[in-house]
Amino acid sequence: MNLGISGRLTRATIASPLTPLFLLAAIAVGLLALFSIPREEEPQISVSTSR
């Protein structure tokens, strides 16, 4: 069967033992970013009104 570039990339990703490691690293970096970004207590949101 003739696979295109996406088929070959998918086959290599599925067969790689590093895929779960990359997944865990991406989740860890996302959680780190989520908890390290400061939050405002009362954000100023301006809402324009039309007359």
C-alpha to C-alpha distances, 8 to 25, 29, 38, nearest whole angstrom: 23, 27, 41
Give the whole-angstrom CA distance, residue 8 versus residue 15. 11
Per-residue pLDDT of the chain (51 residues), as tens digits, is 788 999 999 998 898 999 999 999 999 999 999 999 888 788 788 888 876
* Span 19-29, pLDDT tens digits: 999 999 999 99
Model confidence pTM above 0.85: no
